[in-house]
Amino acid sequence: MKSDAAKRKEDEVRKKAWNDFKLRYPNADLSQFRDEIEMNGVNDVTGIVQIKERPGYWSDVIGPDVKYFTEKKKKALGIGGFPKELI
């Protein structure tokens, strides 16, 4: 059972992960993504946004350069295959 402080911190980190994601990819289809929160104590909480690459496999959106993303991932992110630097 999580303490109230841990729940607040988790919610804070989740909100920041989504806000950062939406700022970077404003045209993303949010229905294709989920958040993943990892807690190693109340003050050590990390949040990432992931995309479902295939059944049973979720991939972090952060990671390799956009030029290495699959076309499906680019489309879901709303970058349509164009280099991110040009958007």
Residue 38, C-beta contacts closer than 8 angstroms, at least 6 positions apart: 45, 46, 47
Structure tokens at 53: 């690459």
Write the pLDDT tens digit of every residue in 1-41: 678 888 898 999 999 999 999 999 999 999 999 999 988 87
Domain boundaries, the chain: 4-79
- Return d(Cα 3, Cα 12) in angstroms, integer: 14
Instruction: Give the DSSP H/E element, type plus range, for residue 7.
Output: helix 4-24
> What is the torsional sign of CA 27, 11, 32, 46?
positive
Prediction pTM value: 0.78
Q: What integer pLDDT is reported at residue 62 of this predicted model?
A: 78
Q: What integer pLDDT is reported at residue 83 of this predicted model?
A: 57
Tell me: pLDDT of 67 over 80. no
Q: What integer pLDDT is reported at residue 1 of this predicted model?
A: 63
Structure tokens at 23: 């700022």
Q: What integer pLDDT is reported at residue 86 of this predicted model?
A: 54
- Residue 28: what residue type? A
